[in-house]
Amino acid sequence: MNTTAVPSETPRGLAGVVVTDTRLGDVRGREGFYHYRQYSAVELAEHRTFEDVWHLMFRGTLPADAAERAAFAAEIAPLRRLPDEVRDALPALARATALSGPLAGLRTALSLLGAATGFRPVYDLGPECRAADALAACAAVPTLLTALYRLGQGLEPVEPRGDLPYAANYLYMLTGQEPDPVRARAVERYLIATVDHGFNASTFTARVIASTGADVAACLTGAIGALSGPLHGGAPSRALDTLDAIGTADRIDPWIRERVRAGDRIMGFGHPVYRTEDPRSRMLRDIARGFGGPLVDLAVEVERRVEEILAELKPGRELHTNVEFYAGVVMELCGLPREMFTPTFCTARVVGWSANVLEQAADSKIIRPAARYTGPTPPHPVPVLR
């Protein structure tokens, strides 16, 4: 007899089920608001640096002054460089993942980094050692991703620079050129806005693995696997593909009507939590408008017409742009290749994952939910093979 207590009605996908307490942040979907600790994430993106937000997520406070900010940046900078064992393995790894791309390569590269650096199970470590491993992993992820991308393009990796901020250094390693400050700041604001976002699939994956006591690299590798799915982090380039498919303003209405009537999903629209406008999308739309140009004009018009056509064909059903829609536009305008859109998302979210791993590691209880069995009634006699 099964004595496991299982709720009579379990929401599909565990939607809305509270599984733990957190001090890291929350998403208030009906209000169109989310926060990191006690601060609005969008306000942080407007007024603070990526390193400031990293400090907030890991250490609980924003840097109090320029000296504390500089000290944290100086702590991170040397961690951007890869161990020789990892650097030497990257060319072969880039060749092996040529068809699947840098994010797939990152899963293996991050595992190798953890092994080469000597990451130990979080269960066996104290808070300071756990945080040191997490800091090293977060600092190395942009270096790994840009090296894998460049090697895949037949280019040599670009060594990180300790004098550049996180976002500017990422763009520098990606392109080999010091980025325009306006574009670097646009990317930095996007990265800040995507550091964390409640108990999404990848964050929950990271916490489940952390609850087993595994090392930081194992937790982050699992989270990357979850992020790679098109229904999670894999959508920014697909949202931009929608704009490419439409092409010009006169094609918007027939294209959208055909998709809506067919019941197809329009990439870049809709969110499982927000019931109003996604605040990240609103911020990125403003950034895109600051650049201007035909792509931005088309994106704004597509957004307007999708909402109007849905109101006509599906009255009562609200559907707004999500973070991926304008993220793709902003990254395109900043010169990022499309195959690096989701990896760029990952360079921000790794900080949020790591903060969640550190929080989960402080709780020794393993996460082990139950499932409701719906197969044939047991026990059936085992048939004898004749």
Which residue in 51, 188, 324, 332 is the catalytic one? 324
- d(CA 211, CA 362) in angstroms, rounded, equals 9
State residue 304 phi and psi, 5-degree precision.
-60, -45
Distances (CA, A) of 151 to 99, 105, 260: 13, 11, 41
271 catalytic residue (yes or no): yes
Q: Which two tokens stand for residue 20?
A: 């733990």
Catalytic status, residue 232: no
Rounded distance, CA 235 to CA 274, Å? 17
Q: How many CB atoms lie within 10 A of CB 162?
A: 14
Region label for 41, one of left (φ > 0), alpha (ψ between -120 and 50) or beta (otherwise):
alpha
Q: Given 188, 271, 303, 320, which residue is catalytic? A: 271
- Other Cβ atoms within 10 Å of 379 Cβ, number: 6
**Amino acid found at 112:** L
Residue reference for tokens 């609850």: 211
Element (H, E) at 261: helix 252-262
Q: Which candidate, 170, 188, 145, 171, places its Cα nearest to that of 284?
A: 188
E strands of 140-204, at which residues? none
Q: Is the dihedral of CA 277, 280, 284, 286 positive or negative?
A: positive
Q: Please tell me whether residue 28 adopts helix, strand or coil conformation.
A: strand
Write out the two tokens for 331: 């990254």
On the question of a cis peptide bond just before residue 379, with omega within 30 degrees of 0, the verdict is yes
The answer to whether 348 and 194 have CB atoms below 8 angstroms apart is: yes
Q: Closest Cα to residue 144, out of 97, 204, 209?
A: 97
| C-alpha distance from residue 205 to each of 34, 197, 198, 238 (Å) | 20, 14, 12, 24
Q: Which residues are catalytic?
A: 271, 324
